[in-house]
Amino acid sequence: MKDTHKIMILAGDGIGPEAMAEVGKIANWLNSRGDIGLELEHDLVGGASIDANGVPVTDATIAKCKEADAVMLGAVGGPKWDGVDYNIRPEAGLLKVRKDLDLFANLRPAIVFDALIDASTLKPEIVKGLDILIVRELTGGVYFGEPRGIETLPNGEKRGFNTQTYTTSEIRRVAEVAFDLARKRSKKVTSCEKANVMESGKLWREVVTDLHKNHSDIELSHMYADNCAMQLLRNPRQFDVIVTDNLFGDILSDEASMLTGSLGMLPSASLGAEDPETGKRYAMYEPVHGSAPDIAGQGKANPLATILSFAMCLRYSLNRGDLADKLEQAAQDVLNKGLRTPDIMAENCTQISTSDMGDAVIDQLGELIKEAA
Ligand code: NAD
């Protein structure tokens, strides 16, 4: 029997539990074959936790997340909880998990699957084969910097202000993640900031350049964030790994993900610091989409974003890049066969349910594992 990995499952609200059920099926299937040992523990987050516990995540749940090897999160929120107090809104649960686990590096892949190439708003020849990974700093920068606020000036006019701050260590740790990830890919990092007009950008560039001395096998380039926004539309395939701060990362990762054209296909990972003694790193994996209350409970949800998030979990937290590759390939093969949930339905394809999509991925995974044996 392989080592057992503990995964904390926080399925959340809306389509979260439906999509996560498909991950559960895949995990159980892998377990039953002895490909890996996975112990899944389930708990509540978001609206489901508000209903049961009065808060969007309990301290006990956070403690269990810290004990686990990785956390898988579905989605939170929905109209049912729109009226709750701002501090205990469903999204606050998600933010608390990210904060308490100090998940400072947000990874957003933007991959264009051949079968879905027409879903992109860009021409197929521009996005064919696209595979970018955006690493966004998640816990610092202008979203958290002090001082911040809205003040009234002596002349009665109001002034809103926020502060962009980054320390050397905050920049180093996220850049370190980007270099390490690039090593497992095409060995190219593009670091984005606005060093031409912002001191924090100037420091960002200096620190990344200095750190690069320890990663000279990786090709490093620097790009102003506004140019990066243009290049993502002009020639996105020039990029491999992009590392950037919280604000620019927020915008650039949304732009890059839309090159792929489909919200139901986008996974993400958020990583924390590695414990130097145990080598363990807190991590949470979640689809980019929300709880989609408009289609919840109807078997229409596309589970692939959650399944691909599980693939990232296998690769980055469980050190099973071999299984991650196969799972990603299985998802791609299923699309190539023309099987589609309603959100990505196209001409000459067969529409299937959330659960059928999970089954189809398992069938294909079985084929791939058999072929490799
Ligand atoms: P959403 O991502 O839930 O849905 C946007 C549109 O995309 C909807 O039409 C939905 O049906 C569709 N969609 C999304 N995921 C899909 C999937 N996997 N399969 C098929 N169709 C899919 O965004 P929204 O409607 O703006 O927000 C709904 C709720 O989700 C809100 O309460 C919002 O606060 C919350 N939200 C949560 C997260 C999160 O948990 N990380 C992220 C975004 C929004």
Tokens 């690069």 correspond to what residue? 212
pLDDT class for 193, splitting at 50, 70, 90? very high
CB neighbour burial string for 134-153, b if at least 16 within 10 angstroms, e if fewer: bbbbbbbbbeebeeeeeeee
CA of 289, closest atom in ligand 1? 2
Establish whether residue 78 lines the binding site of ligand 1, counting it when its CB lies within 6 angstroms of any ligand atom: yes
Give the Å distance between the CA of 301 and the centre of ligand 1. 10
pLDDT digits (tens, 9 = 90+) for 138-186: 999 999 899 999 999 999 999 999 999 999 999 999 999 999 999 989 9
Establish whether residue 61 lines the binding site of ligand 1, counting it when its CB lies within 6 angstroms of any ligand atom: no
3-state class (DSSP) for residue 72: strand
Q: Are 328 and 311 spatial neighbours (Cβ–Cβ below 8 Å)?
A: yes
For residue 1, pLDDT beyond 60: no
Establish whether residue 302 lines the binding site of ligand 1, counting it when its CB lies within 6 angstroms of any ligand atom: yes
pLDDT class for 261, splitting at 50, 70, 90? confident
CA distance 8 to 71: 5
For residue 133, pLDDT beyond 80: yes
Q: Are 19 and 264 spatial neighbours (Cβ–Cβ below 8 Å)?
A: no
